[in-house]
Amino acid sequence: MIRSQEKGLYLALLSVSTTLFIIALGPGFFGGSSTFSLHWEYDVFRILCHQDPARSYSLDGVTMAVCSRCIGIYGAFALGVLLMPVSARFFSIRNSITKKILLSILLLNFADVLINAIGIWTNTLHSRLLLGILLGYSAALLLTSGFFKKQEQEISYG
Amino acid sequence: MDDQLQETPNYWNSVFIGAFIVAIATTIVGLIMLYYLAGAEPSMSMMIMSGLLVPVTCLVGMFGGIIAVRHYAKTFDITFKMGTGALIGLFTGIAAALISGILGQLWNMIDPALMDNFSNNMISAFENMDMPAAQREETISRMMENMEAQKAIGGIIKGVLINAVVLGVVNAISGMIGAKIFAAPDEE
């Protein structure tokens, strides 16, 4: 049985993370033209992402408002928040484990950036997306136990 | 009642520490990028930057909530709920946007030519782009309008407000993550 807590905060988080993901998809999602940097979606993420077109995916021929790593983070986080009740039902998620998972994936992302900069490894749109997805989902997984808890079912006899 | 109020230590010191770190980091990275773009050859290649600088700009703005919550939890050696972490992160993001806006304006006074050089270079880059002449003219015209609008007081306030909302929201999320990492009770 799943016990939910902090329902208001969960619904706020779900709304905010979904909205961020939709805006991050860029003008293409809203039928905008391909003119780079003149849309409000780019303004929203300007302080958070480099928005380099060469390192970003396009939607409907229009560059997204964030890079491939960031779209992975926002998308996977929103999906992870949406799936929190399901994740809590099927997995017994301990805070200490999810903390280690998140930290490991964060370090993996930094290592990817550093090794790519040095020139030992060349990351791609897809590899950055994958690392972003792992980071976003692990962040959502860490928060899951704060919102939903698995409870032992009461067993009745007779 | 008074005892209950005294149980929760003041978190504003932690909020401002997190906000200052984020504001200074985003301002420095933003200025480096502006100087790079303002000084580069006016071509499409100048928009395609490589190396360490580009990737590090991502996520810098998100860490304020985690920094502030960690500072708060460690300073007072307390545990608290994710909602408190979200609140601390929200205030941290808003404060970071305000501080970053002030720092940006101060730098405009120190080097007023920077934004003009940046604007001219961006326009030159679009003039060299392979696109229909009418579309190019429209794009350049809209870009010039945007840049003029951003220089006006209304444009500056609009920019700070957008950043306050965005940084507030993402740092509220990172504040919740920070609360789970640094302030969750052991049994959780």
Give tens-digit pLDDT for B15-71: 999 999 999 988 887 787 777 777 655 444 444 444 455 555 567 788 899 999 999
Domain that holds residue A13: 2-150
Tell whether B99 lies on the interface with A, counting CB pairs under 8 A.
no
Cα–Cα dist B24/B39, whole Å = 22
- Sign of the dihedral through C-alpha A71, B87, B57, A38: positive
Tell whether B84 lies on the interface with A, counting CB pairs under 8 A.
no
Helices B12-39 and B113-127: crossing angle in degrees, nearest 10, is 50
Cα–Cα dist A129/A158, whole Å = 55
Q: Is residue A158 part of a domain?
A: no
Q: Is residue A114 part of a domain?
A: yes
Residue B32: CB atoms within 10 Å: 13
Residue B107: CB atoms within 10 Å: 16
Predicted confidence band of residue A151 (pLDDT cuts 50, 70, 90)? low
Residue B2: CB atoms within 10 Å: 6
Tell whether A127 lies on the interface with B, counting CB pairs under 8 A.
no
Q: How many CB pairs under 8 A join A and B?
A: 100
Residues 6+ apart with CB under 8 A from B166: A44, A45, A47, A48, B93, B97
Which value does ipTM take for this structure? 0.87
Residues 39-78 of A with CB under 8 A from B: 43-45, 47-50, 52-55, 67, 69-70, 77
Q: Is residue A10 part of a domain?
A: yes
Tell whether B43 lies on the interface with A, counting CB pairs under 8 A.
no
- Sign of the dihedral through C-alpha B119, B122, B124, B130: negative
Per-residue pLDDT at B182: 93
Identify the CA nearest to A5 among candidates B79, B169, B83.
Answer: B83
Give tens-digit pLDDT for A13-42: 999 999 999 999 999 888 876 555 568 888
Name the H helices within A25-124: 40-45, 68-82, 84-90, 95-118
Structural domains counted in chain A: 1
